[in-house]
Structure 1
């Protein structure tokens, strides 16, 4: 039985859940599903207008407008985070669950990727997640309870072509939050890493190319991936159970995740062959 099939009861009823990257994709889907489960929500992303649309969806799912706080936030602007945390605490009094979901991807070979692109990936996908967590964590520790989650990726477990920066960032995320889990478990704070495969979102269209420009096009793997609402339901099932690492996806990438765990060397050879094909196509 997968996480989506597990009984969740009222695990999120009345809980204060802060979601970054909530303007679309997995973040917006989580918000809608949590609203239907009676959660109180903080929605953060850079696009305020899109957040208002998600808020309207949440109200339509059954929560009051007062139960949804729209709080625009750029996770790369770490200096704005203390004020953001204080705004959430002023509105709701505490934070039960922080879902670090903001992020960007990449589609470029290392040989064609500018160093600033790697910096941007790390600022958003790693430093931003760490910085917000560090601001929220003391409040959870003071209460003796709380839950911190982060959306990592299969790319945080497997090194795949065209994603050297993204894989590096997601591996870093996995390492940080795994280590954090060990430090805060005895303080009453849980940590969950979410490991999605291909989910049907705009992540490929927004992915950075070697110059830093967005790819602006669909990705066949993403377009054939798991439905985002199915993904959200599975994630919430795992969070409700306190699962430490939630794998979510339905395609061959999930087999690849299993292969990396059981046969790392075989995975290296498979990825090398894939990369050679990619390079050959780009040279033709």
Structure 2
């Protein structure tokens, strides 16, 4: 059955891959991100793209997010599935990173996602239910060097949406939190350094990571199964279990690992 799906962060990476897979499955899509030209490129890659609507905006403009959600809902009349894929990473030491840069990352990854979701969830409840997907990260479960505020923003998503899930369980709304590991996207290229500039190159582990197409397929399976949480990637996902049962061992391994 066709769904109306809103995907943020749709101009690249995991979000873009999800656009193509959901479009090929016959769904109606609203695609969002900051880069209008890139969004129209993605739309242009969808054959007969009249069922793909571009809605550009910046997640850091939190005051405007409720209005943007209203715009999205008006396009097709409702939202069945919201996928929060917009975000930005970090490659800098905690003690050297400007507070302004940290606030930008937190506003994008956490407050932007929360603002959009609150507005859409209210509409979903009125329409009898829906699904919400939050793209977190493996470092939403533990921390590594050079990702302090990025990890904090992802940890915050887990706390917030685990709580929300318990509050809306009787409203026919399911929430899936996705924790990708190393996925071959430009997230490390666009990651912010201590002064807010982009890193400008891809991490070695990222370059060797899972393909974005396979990642998107794994996410879609988890969403269809209405899983609460899913880990996507290679052997790095085993760190979740090390953190739970052998936290000191994980800390030692992380300190020894090359994380860029």
CA displacement, residues 106-128 of structure 1 (integer Å, 9 cap, x when unaligned): 01111221111111111001000
Distance in 2 between the 1:82 and 1:172 partners? 21
Q: How does 1:106-117 map to 2 (within 5 A)?
A: 106-117=90-101
Q: How does 1:169-180 map to 2 (within 5 A)?
A: 169-180=153-164
Distance in 2 between the 1:122 and 1:26 partners? 20
Q: How does 1:68-217 map to 2 (within 5 A)?
A: 68-217=52-201
Shift in Å, 1:35: 0.5
1:36 maps to: 24
TM-score normalized by structure 2? 0.96
1:8 maps to: none
In structure 2, list runs of 5 or more residues that go unmatched: none
Distance in 2 between the 1:160 and 1:249 partners? 17
2:39 maps to: 51
SS at match of 1:91: helix
2:250 maps to: 267
Shift in Å, 1:271: 2.8
2:31·2:55 contact (CA, 8 Å) conserved in 1?
yes
Shift in Å, 1:80: 2.0
Distance in 1 between the 2:160 and 2:119 partners? 15
SS at match of 1:82: helix
1:258 maps to: 241
Distance in 2 between the 1:139 and 1:86 partners? 9
CA displacement, residues 81-103 of structure 1 (integer Å, 9 cap, x when unaligned): 22222222222111000001100
Shift in Å, 1:57: 1.6
Q: Which runs of 4+ in 1 moved over 4 A?
A: none
Shift in Å, 1:270: 2.7
Distance in 1 between the 2:202 and 2:73 partners? 39
1:26 maps to: 14
Distance in 1 between the 2:188 and 2:73 partners? 34
Q: How does 1:243-254 map to 2 (within 5 A)?
A: 243-250=227-234, 252-254=235-237
Distance in 2 between the 1:120 and 1:85 partners? 21
Q: Which has the larger radius of gyration?
A: 1
Distance in 2 between the 1:253 and 1:164 partners? 18
Distance in 1 between the 2:133 and 2:121 partners? 12
TM-score normalized by structure 1? 0.88
Shift in Å, 1:53: 1.0
Shift in Å, 1:273: 4.3
Distance in 2 between the 1:166 and 1:88 partners? 27
